[in-house]
Chains A and B, each alone.
Chain A
Amino acid sequence: MNEQLRAISELDRVIHEPGRLMIVALLAGVKECDFQFLLTETKMSKGNLSTHLAKLENASYVEIEKTYRGKVPMTLLRLTRAGSKAFEEYRKGLFAAF
């Protein structure tokens, strides 16, 4: 039981938060997507999603690219190498906890 607790406590806190975990899991399954796609999939509010993305960007887990598609602004999001590695380790940690 103590080992389990230790394993759980060692999990990455940035990813462990449910909202951010969902974002990272979604981004791990795709090459890249835009803000609208994450909004549809997570069903979060725009503000909430922006806050989570900013935290993930600060941790260098997510790369945010502001671009245009024709004349429409578009925010492209992709998981960085560090983000992929952290998510993989998080999953391993979660498995190890049991």
Chain B
Amino acid sequence: MKNFITESIQFARTIVRAKREGRTDELLRSLKEQDQLRIKKRIEIQKIQKTMMQPKRYETINGAGEIGWGMFVLCMALASYSSVVLPNSMQKWRGGMGFLFLFCGCLAMPLCRWAIKKFVTEPRVGYVAFRREKTFWITIVTSVVVAVGISIGLTHLMRPEMIKLAQSQAHNTSATAPVTFSHTDKIMLAVFIVSNTIMYLMMNAFSIKEHRWKWLLLVLITLVPLGIYLFIPGNFYALFRPIGLFLGLVWLASGVVTLFSFIRPYQPPAPDAE
């Protein structure tokens, strides 16, 4: 600030002096040159910062995160479906199937990222390890704390409905919960849609600039669940199944298209002649 004030005063004095001495044109020319140089150098500084950020795009550019997340959501929806679709005679299988889908869902994310990095990204663009600075760990810890806080809050809020649902399932009255859309459901829905949208934007921070169709998908994954909840009767648990299935497939499709569009320009280098 001090520098800026001093420079401004000096600049005003130079103009007054130049006017007095009749050197206005010369002064304007020199100012223009200085400005051009300043702009050029500013562009150079921006270029350096952009180059430094360039490798970070490889964390999301190959669609691995989207495929992993899509698999996770899909497995969650299938786990939920397995408890409803399987007949009562296969009650033993219900728990097992559900657990299997949950297990696969949890493994999908790290496995997809590892496999795509090892077999697709690294042979094409080379090996790169990212520096995890202090801010990264602070962000991770903060996110985990916030997520745990929200989960505890929501569990506390949903407890009465969960008990009601468990009782209705224990008495075998109905596999699905009542069709009313309660206050808790609204909160759950808002959290689900907002987190889903943020996740999509985070995973596509770089590729969304390249692939404009992802904006359309973003609108789709935000509006379709909202539309289903608004126009189809049922509560959050019952409607999560078709929505989970839909979102999982959309994420998966988006990831696969991203992966293929990444593979096309980056072909593995030809081995050197012996």
Residues of A within 8 A of B (CB): 1, 4, 21-22, 25-26, 28-41, 69, 74, 76, 91, 94-95, 97-98
Q: Does B54 contact A (CB under 8 A)?
A: yes
Contact B131–A33 (Cβ < 8 Å):
no
Q: How many residues of B contact A (CB 8 A)?
A: 25
One digit per residue, 1 when the CB lies within 8 angstroms of any chain A CB and 0 when it does not, for chain B 213-225 equals: 0000000000000
Q: How far is the CB of B239 from chain A (nearest CB, A)?
A: 43
One digit per residue, 1 when the CB lies within 8 angstroms of any chain A CB and 0 when it does not, for chain B 187-205 equals: 0000000000000000000
Provide the residues of chain B in CB contact with A97, threshold 8 Å: 41
Contact A38–B131 (Cβ < 8 Å):
no
Stretch at the interface among B17-25, B44-52, B160-168: B44-52
Beyond A41-B55, A91-B48, 9 additional pairs, beta carbon < 8 A: A21-B48, A26-B51, A29-B52, A29-B55, A32-B129, A33-B55, A37-B128, A95-B45, A97-B41
Contact B41–A37 (Cβ < 8 Å):
no
Provide the residues of chain B in CB contact with A1, threshold 8 Å: 34
Contact A30–B55 (Cβ < 8 Å):
yes
> What are 28 sample pairs from A and B whose C-beta atoms fall under 8 A apart?
A1-B34, A4-B37, A21-B48, A25-B48, A26-B54, A26-B55, A28-B52, A29-B51, A29-B56, A30-B55, A30-B130, A31-B130, A31-B132, A32-B129, A34-B128, A35-B126, A36-B125, A37-B55, A38-B126, A40-B124, A40-B125, A40-B126, A41-B125, A76-B127, A94-B44, A94-B48, A98-B38, A98-B42
**Interface SS, A side:** helix
Q: A29 and B129 in contact (CB under 8 A), knowing A94-B41, A98-B41?
A: no
Contact A94–B45 (Cβ < 8 Å):
yes
Q: How far is the CB of B16 from chain A (nearest CB, A)?
A: 19
Contact A30–B48 (Cβ < 8 Å):
no
Provide the residues of chain B in CB contact with A30, threshold 8 Å: 55, 128-131
Question: Most chain-B Cβ atoms within 10 A of its Cβ — which of A36, A69, A74, A97?
Answer: A36
One digit per residue, 1 when the CB lies within 8 angstroms of any chain A CB and 0 when it does not, for chain B 174-196 equals: 00000000000000000000000
One digit per residue, 1 when the CB lies within 8 angstroms of any chain A CB and 0 when it does not, for chain B 52-82 equals: 1111100000000000000000000000000
Contact B54–A33 (Cβ < 8 Å):
no
Q: Does B114 contact A (CB under 8 A)?
A: no
Question: Most chain-B Cβ atoms within 10 A of its Cβ — which of A32, A33, A69, A97?
Answer: A33
A26-B126 Cα distance, complex, nearest whole Å: 13
Provide the residues of chain B in CB contact with A26, threshold 8 Å: 51-52, 54-55
Question: Most chain-A Cβ atoms within 10 A of its Cβ — which of B37, B45, B51, B131?
Answer: B51
Q: How far is the CB of A74 from chain B (nearest CB, A)?
A: 7
Contact B52–A33 (Cβ < 8 Å):
no
B42 — nearest CB in chain A belongs to which residue? A98
B:222-269 near A, CB below 8 Å: 266, 269
Question: Most chain-A Cβ atoms within 10 A of its Cβ — which of B41, B127, B266?
Answer: B127
